[in-house]
Amino acid sequence: MKNIAILASGNGSNFAAIAQAIKTGRIYANLKILITDKETAYVHIRAKKHKITNLYINPNNYTTREDFDKEIVKVLKKEKIDLVILAGYMRILSPYFIRQFKNRIVNIHPAILPSFKGMHAIKDAFNYGVKITGVTIHYVDEKIDHGPIILQESLKINDKITLPELEKKVHKLEHKLYPQAIKLILNNKLRINKRKVIPAS
Ligand code: GRF
C-alpha cells in the first residue's frame, strides 16, 4: 500500500473528500499525515475527526522558504511518503522540495488551466464572464499552476448563477475529481510524456 501525505492551509474540504475516499475503499492508500502551515486552519479539526496525524509547522521559525521546505521534506521522508497531495496549500514550493519529490506532487486548481491561474480562480473566471469553467488536477513543477495535467472537468456557468453558487459547484466537482486522479496515480495507470499525461501501457 502506498503512503500519501496531504498539505493544506485552510478549510480542508478536499482533505475530507480524500480521507473519505480512503475510508470507503475507493482509494487504496495509507493517509499517513496532514501537514499545515496554519495553526488555526479548520483542516486540523477534520484531521482529528478522521484520526489522521496532523502536524503544524510554523513557517516563521525558518529564515528561507527552502529551510522550511527542508523540514517538511524531512518529515515526508521519515514517513516514507510516495505521493504528496496539495489541497488548498497556500505556499509556493521551493525547487528543492520539487526535486526531492519529482513527479510525485499533485495539486488541484479550481479552474481550467492554463486559464485563471492564481489564488482567486473561481472569482476571476466568474468576473471575466466565461461560460465554462471547471477543475484541474495537475502534477506540480517549478512554475505556478503549470505542471502536466492529469484530469480536467468543465462545468457551465449559466446567466443566473451567483458567485457563491458557482463556488459550491466547483468544490463539489473537486471532491469528485481529486480522489479519481489520486486513484489513477496510485494504481500506476499514468505516465508522463513531457507535458502530456497519458495512460500507462
Ligand atoms: C480549492 O478550491 C482548491 O482548488 C484550491 O484551494 C481550495 C481549497 O479548498 N487550491 P479546501 O481547503 O480543500 O476546502
Q: Tell me the per-residue pLDDT of 82-136, one tens digit each, with 9 for 90 and over.
A: 999 999 999 999 999 999 999 999 999 999 999 999 999 999 999 999 999 999 9
Report the catalytic residues.
109
Q: What pLDDT does 159 receive?
A: 93
Expressed in angstroms and rounded, the spacing between residue 201 Cα and the centre of ligand 1 is 32
Q: Is residue 184 over pLDDT 90?
A: yes
Nearest CA to ligand 1 atom 14: 13
Residue 154: pLDDT band (50, 70, 90) is: very high
Report how far Cα 16 is from the mean position of its chain's Cα atoms. 12
Contact between residue 117 and residue 124 where contact means Cβ atoms under 8 Å apart: no
Pairing mode, strands 196-199 and 190-193: antiparallel
Best residue for ligand 1 mutational test, from 171, 175, 177, 182 (most atoms within 8 Å of Cβ): 171
Nearest CA to ligand 1 atom 10: 88
Q: Is residue 64 over pLDDT 90?
A: yes
HSE value, Cβ hemisphere, 13 Å, CA-based, for 2: 17
Q: Is residue 164 over pLDDT 90?
A: yes
pTM passes above 0.85: yes
What are the strands, taking DSSP E only, across the chain? Answer: 2-8, 29-36, 54-56, 83-86, 105-109, 132-139, 149-156, 190-193, 196-199
Nearest CA to ligand 1 atom 9: 88
Greatest distance between any 2 Cα atoms in the chain: 50
Expressed in angstroms and rounded, the spacing between residue 119 Cα and the centre of ligand 1 is 10
- For residues 172 and 33, what is the distance between their CA atoms, to the nearest angstrom? 24
The DSSP line for 69-115 is HHHHHHHHHHTT-SEEEESS--SPPPHHHHHHTTT-EEEEESS-TTS
Residue 201: pLDDT band (50, 70, 90) is: confident
Ligand 1 atom closest to the CA of 13, numbered from 1: 14
Expressed in angstroms and rounded, the spacing between residue 51 Cα and the centre of ligand 1 is 21
Ligand 1 atom closest to the CA of 135, numbered from 1: 4
Q: How confident is the prediction for the chain on average, in pLDDT?
A: 97
Alpha helices in 120-162 (DSSP H): 121-128
Look up residue 99 and give its three cell numbers.
526535486
Residue 13: pLDDT band (50, 70, 90) is: very high
Sign of CA dihedral 156, 160, 164, 169: negative
Q: Is residue 170 over pLDDT 90?
A: yes
Q: Is 50 helix (H, G, I), strand (E, B) or coil?
A: coil
Ligand 1 cavity residues, CB under 6 Å:
8, 10-15, 87-88, 108-110, 174
Expressed in angstroms and rounded, the spacing between residue 87 Cα and the centre of ligand 1 is 6
Q: What pLDDT does 11 receive?
A: 97
Q: Is residue 137 over pLDDT 80?
A: yes
